[in-house]
Structure 1
């Protein structure tokens, strides 16, 4: 099994206004936006310090028709997209796109898990990446959080696909348990059962920023809406969850204050 199997390798924003979204996230995260369209598919590449970190594109009309708001989609690296998509389907997932090839890039599929959370699979045509971004690199994905209808069932589903293992379980009091999950022994995210009357279920992706106060200022100045935070979390890091100007949910994480 390759190093990238089971690791989040890409993040993609599906939005109603790509140009304005690119301006917002460039200001908040520090990304540089560059056109990377292929014939018939407008696409914007987001990079930092010369390293590609994420992408964005206009939300497909079929998704808009469902009433969905702009959203971030996380791609998990796998050794065989078709095999894992078939396994996921057998376990109750629904394939919405693919498996299909992106010319000169890779093969992908977009699914919802048995509880309705959207995620994607990806395998590069170039084989194993020589330098996958480290979890704490500024501008890259730093944490992956799933709020599920049933976190125990969700973990069983994803671990069967990606080999994720349980790490520490954090007692959140009346909210329940926050179960960390690991890839190759390194915690990369957490799952918990959605408390009543709380946020909707699904994945939230936290992008690394250098300073939480500076990022808060940038969010407010750029038309974003802070829904939670800044808040210190176990381990000393600081997080903010919010909405971008188009209504897409996003999150950032900064290292402990010195």
Structure 2
């Protein structure tokens, strides 16, 4: 996966019970959770083999006070966090946490798109390079999905922000179009206008690759996860399922076989 400007480079779960979440995702996705070893930080890493895929941390107090539910957050790599945050605001997005440094790791900002979907901007330190792993490798994030406030305006926003290319459009009948998008010539995700009956605000969802879907669903159910939609076959022959983990964070699984 290319780690240049506009690529998703990191994923982070903020939750209310990190120990339970680590055990859950290790079992369901097949990750290995390890302490990050960062001084003064209670931060867990999820690894697929030698590759670090995602992080896990306790929800900050201010988020708990605001009743923010546990959730996955995606970090998009940029050439310059400060310049990207300024551009995002000019394009109608909102900067919720101004750019700041994580010593020895990089610089980041927490932002939302014009309709309120949360993500982060990130620029790593030069020595922070991670082992490359194929987008479709087990344990990696194989797909990124935006349930958008409005497909047309949000697609234009992300195209201007990150240079994403409009790819194949899949008509979904009354639900409108599902728009695939590409980065550096590779399809990395899709977006559609969020159905009105979905209670959540617009959001980014992430699909974790697993070897076999049904076995992962069984492990999720056994540990208190819930299937909210699926399993279903999607164009290209993959199978997907949308779930909620025991702490209430929304996640998805994808596999080429049931």
Contact 2:211/2:257 (<8 A) preserved: no
When normalised by structure 1's length, the TM-score is 0.94
Match of 1:206?
Answer: 207
Deviation larger for 3-12 or 19-28: 3-12
Distance 1:199 1:241, change over 3 A: farther
1:59-74 maps to which residues of 2 (within 5 A)?
59-74=59-74
Could you say what the CA RMSD is over the residues aligned between the two structures, in angstroms?
1.6
Contact 1:9/1:132 (<8 A) preserved: no
Match of 2:228?
Answer: 227
Q: How many residues align?
A: 256
Match of 1:247?
Answer: 248
Match of 2:54?
Answer: 54
Match of 1:83?
Answer: 83
Task: Tell me the CA shift for residue 228 of structure 1.
Answer: 1.1
Deviation larger for 40-49 or 141-150: 40-49
Task: Tell me the CA shift for residue 219 of structure 1.
Answer: 0.8
* 1:120-166 deviation per Cα after TM superposition (whole angstroms, max 9, x unaligned): 01111026847533210111111000011201111111111110010
Partner Cα distance (1:104, 1:33) in 2 = 21
1:35-46 maps to which residues of 2 (within 5 A)?
35-46=35-46
Contact 1:3/1:128 (<8 A) preserved: no
Task: Tell me the CA shift for residue 48 of structure 1.
Answer: 1.4
Partner Cα distance (1:166, 1:97) in 2 = 29
Partner Cα distance (1:55, 1:86) in 2 = 26
Q: Is 1:115 paired with 2:84?
A: no
Match of 1:20?
Answer: 20
Match of 2:105?
Answer: 105
Match of 2:164?
Answer: 164
Task: Tell me the CA shift for residue 39 of structure 1.
Answer: 3.8
Unaligned runs of 5+ in 1: none
Partner Cα distance (1:128, 1:221) in 2 = 37
Distance 1:219 1:3, change over 3 A: closer
Partner Cα distance (1:194, 1:188) in 2 = 19
Partner Cα distance (1:103, 1:93) in 2 = 26
Task: Tell me the CA shift for residue 113 of structure 1.
Answer: 1.1
* 1:194-235 deviation per Cα after TM superposition (whole angstroms, max 9, x unaligned): 122135221101111110111111111111011111111111
Partner Cα distance (2:194, 2:130) in 1 = 37
* 1:64-109 deviation per Cα after TM superposition (whole angstroms, max 9, x unaligned): 2222110000001111111101100111222122311111111111
Partner Cα distance (2:75, 2:199) in 1 = 22
Partner Cα distance (1:67, 1:141) in 2 = 27
When normalised by structure 2's length, the TM-score is 0.94
Q: Is 1:153 paired with 2:153?
A: yes
Contact 1:240/1:251 (<8 A) preserved: yes
